[in-house]
Structure 1
Amino acid sequence: MENLENTIVQSKSILSIQSHVVHGYVGNKASTFPLQMLDWDVDVLNTVNFSNHTGYGDLKGVCSTGDELINIYKGLKQIDIKYDAVLTGYVHGFDTLEAVGKICLDIRNRGKRNGNQVTWLLDPVMGDEGVLYVEKNVIPIYRQILDSQQVDIATPNQYELELLLDCKIVCIESLKQALKLFHDKYKVKHIVLSSLFAELFEDLDGGPETIYCCVSSLDILDHIVFYRIDKIPGYFTGVGDMFSALLLDRLIKSQDIIISVNEVLTVMKNVLTVTKELGKTSGKIGDKNMKDCELRVIECKNFYEKHNAVYDPIYIKRTL
């Protein structure tokens, strides 16, 4: 028994509040298994319950209301469930998002009263490449949640950062200004922009096949950090959901945002490469062949705990 105890890793607990699909891998389906493989005890609270993700063009299912989520959370409180972290992703409407904000703030406050720091990663899933795919009235609710100054890590893409700050990002200087405003206004410690498109910038190298990930952290006051990424051709969903889950795990364990992001980007590169190699067709939005583009979450199980880092960080001074 003594030898067995020495080999057991004590799990941490997390509440993941995201979408759910019966078939496929987005939201909680893309996050739960990788987190479990990394020794997390994952509780899931589903903001929608769909047959499949929207990329298929057809789906059946229901969206959770704010009252339904609050009621479920009350049940968790009654049995005194505590968490080390909360992860929030896709929420479709303003009343549901308001409920998610209340739940996460209550978890944070309960943790503080018990002397436990609960880490909150907020992925403000609203749209991408200029296309909004949630109700427009969620934008001010995200701003209200961020105004609480209780979010530790935010992982918007370029378009979502623009929506939150009501500004346009067209160059590195405008990006610096946006990141500074976000830090100053919302006191978020780590901002990880999951995708910046080189073709939309005046001064980023690369064309349509090049994206960048950008890290801005209060732990690194003099620089922001870029990672240049060659796009893997194809249409993939759930990428941001898995990215955020893996990032939360890495950062809590290492406390090093630069290493954490590099390792997670490397994992995602491997996952997308395997997904593309095993897929038989090239799916696109509204295509029934989308099932071949689902992330190979199970087949990639051996990647999640790897600490490889293949990207070279590019350090850019915050001020000239």
Structure 2
Amino acid sequence: MRILSIQSSVAYGHVGNSAAVFPLQRLGHEVWPVNTVHFSNHTGYGAWRGPLLAASDVADVITGIGEREVPGRGDNGAETVSVLGTADAVLTGYQGAEDVGQVVLDTVAMVKELNPAAVYCCDPVMGDVGRGMFVRPGIPEFMRDAVVPAADLITPNHFELDFLAGVETRTMDEVLAAVDAVRERGPRTVLVTSLLHDAVPEGHLDVLAVTDEGAWAVTTPQLPISPNGAGDLTSALWLAHLLTAPSAAEALAATTSAVYGVLRATLESGFRELQLVPSQEEIVHPSERFEARRVR
């Protein structure tokens, strides 16, 4: 599978492309990372260095990729096509400004024109429980009104789902109704992470996947750790497994099992950053398997 990943990048640690590219490659997929920033470390440290790339620079890199050509499928075997036409998916995470978001939308439209079978997976990074919105004003509305409707797959956390749906959810039925409301606006597949509802056992959390075929949930222990980049890792693995696994239920089980394995290894290490490289075997062969159950 070939994936165009447009996200932030850090030299130290694992967020954005620095959290998504290696796991996807470890699963055997080709990834074309396009960076929107190149920081020394993620902003959770309170201090960082490095450039925030202009939207025009991001667009220029994508244009350059599109100018590369590979052999096509013409009758004589000599036809060439743009590399972007061979992309199976576009993956995006944090979008710091509307102009970068517009580059993303233009790129998704271009890739889909070249390959109508390509899908767009958007992690609508905006905020979280306990922190509220942590993006600048205007971004949440832009994500809700422009970016999310253009996506095929979205991966909001519980807080972000409630914002997108304009409701506050406490029960699984309310969560499913909120997901359905968002799905009516465009994205047919929704993965809700860090889901806490009234039926989740204490000390646990749910991850919920909803597609046209049904809805499934996985319950895992809630580890006392919330490292930056965990959402980026989850979105990348969900996209990869959804496009390759026999079913959405199996993709959900594979994704949650791998993420849990990496998080547990990170907790045990005592380090703040995701331990992607030391725990890379968890990405491919998770040591603990969680099964998905149908909830609708």
TM over 0.5: yes
1:93 to 88, 92, 97: 97
Superposition pairs of residues 125-164 of structure 1, within 5 angstroms:
125-129=125-129, 130-142=131-143, 143-148=145-150, 151-164=151-164
Q: 2 CA distance for matches of 1:183 and 1:109?
A: 22
* 1:210 maps onto 2:207 in alignment: no
Give the letter aligned to residue 149 of structure 2.
D
1:263–1:309 contact (8 Å) kept in structure 2: no
1:238–1:295 contact (8 Å) kept in structure 2: yes
Q: Report the 3-state secondary structure (helix = DSSP H, G, I; strand = E; otherwise coil) of the residue aligned with 2:264.
A: helix
CA RMSD of aligned residues (A): 1.8
How big is the shift at 1:307? 6.7
1:15–1:85 contact (8 Å) kept in structure 2: yes
1:94–1:141 contact (8 Å) kept in structure 2: yes
2:122–2:148 contact (8 Å) kept in structure 1: no
Q: Report the 3-state secondary structure (helix = DSSP H, G, I; strand = E; otherwise coil) of the residue aligned with 1:63.
A: coil
* 1:294 maps onto 2:296 in alignment: no
Would the alpha carbon gap of residues 64 and 171 (structure 1) be closer, same or farther in structure 2, given more than 3 Å must change?
same
1:84–1:118 contact (8 Å) kept in structure 2: yes
Q: Report the 3-state secondary structure (helix = DSSP H, G, I; strand = E; otherwise coil) of the residue aligned with 2:280.
A: coil
Would the alpha carbon gap of residues 308 and 251 (structure 1) be closer, same or farther in structure 2, given more than 3 Å must change?
farther
1:167-204 deviations in whole A, cap 9, x for unaligned?
A: 22222232122111112221x2211101112xxx4x32
Q: 1 CA distance for matches of 2:118 and 2:200?
A: 38
Moved over 4 A (4+): none
1:86–1:121 contact (8 Å) kept in structure 2: yes
2:11–2:38 contact (8 Å) kept in structure 1: yes
Q: 2 CA distance for matches of 1:219 and 1:259?
A: 13
2:225–2:263 contact (8 Å) kept in structure 1: no
Q: TM-score, normalised by structure 2?
A: 0.88
1:98–1:141 contact (8 Å) kept in structure 2: no
2:127–2:133 contact (8 Å) kept in structure 1: yes
Q: TM-score, normalised by structure 1?
A: 0.82
Structure 1, gaps ≥5 residues long: 1-11, 280-291
How big is the shift at 1:241? 0.8
Q: 1 CA distance for matches of 2:163 and 2:283?
A: 31
Aligned to 1:81: 83
Aligned to 1:102: 106
1:66–1:100 contact (8 Å) kept in structure 2: no
1:273 to 223, 241, 264: 264
2:218–2:252 contact (8 Å) kept in structure 1: no
Aligned to 1:54: 43
Aligned to 1:122: 122
Aligned to 1:310: 289
Q: Report the 3-state secondary structure (helix = DSSP H, G, I; strand = E; otherwise coil) of the residue aligned with 1:42.
A: strand
Would the alpha carbon gap of residues 34 and 216 (structure 1) be closer, same or farther in structure 2, given more than 3 Å must change?
same
* 1:243 maps onto 2:234 in alignment: yes
Give the letter aligned to residue 311 of structure 1.
F
Which range moved further: 25-34 or 130-139?
A: 130-139
* 1:234 maps onto 2:229 in alignment: no
Q: Report the 3-state secondary structure (helix = DSSP H, G, I; strand = E; otherwise coil) of the residue aligned with 2:295.
A: strand
Q: Report the 3-state secondary structure (helix = DSSP H, G, I; strand = E; otherwise coil) of the residue aligned with 2:169.
A: coil
* 1:167 maps onto 2:141 in alignment: no
Q: 1 CA distance for matches of 2:209 and 2:268?
A: 29
How big is the shift at 1:59? 0.8
1:235–1:293 contact (8 Å) kept in structure 2: no
Q: Report the 3-state secondary structure (helix = DSSP H, G, I; strand = E; otherwise coil) of the residue aligned with 2:162.
A: helix
Q: Report the 3-state secondary structure (helix = DSSP H, G, I; strand = E; otherwise coil) of the residue aligned with 2:233.
A: helix
2:200–2:206 contact (8 Å) kept in structure 1: no
2:208–2:217 contact (8 Å) kept in structure 1: yes
Give the letter aligned to residue 313 of structure 1.
A
Give the letter aligned to residue 113 of structure 2.
N
Give the letter aligned to residue 205 of structure 1.
V
Give the letter aligned to residue 72 of structure 1.
V
Aligned to 1:262: 253
Give the letter aligned to residue 91 of structure 1.
Q
How big is the shift at 1:43? 0.9
Q: Number of matched residues? A: 279
Aligned to 1:192: 191
Report sequence identity in percent. 27
How big is the shift at 1:226? 2.1
Q: 2 CA distance for matches of 1:241 and 1:313?
A: 21
Would the alpha carbon gap of residues 263 and 309 (structure 1) be closer, same or farther in structure 2, given more than 3 Å must change?
farther
How big is the shift at 1:305? 2.1
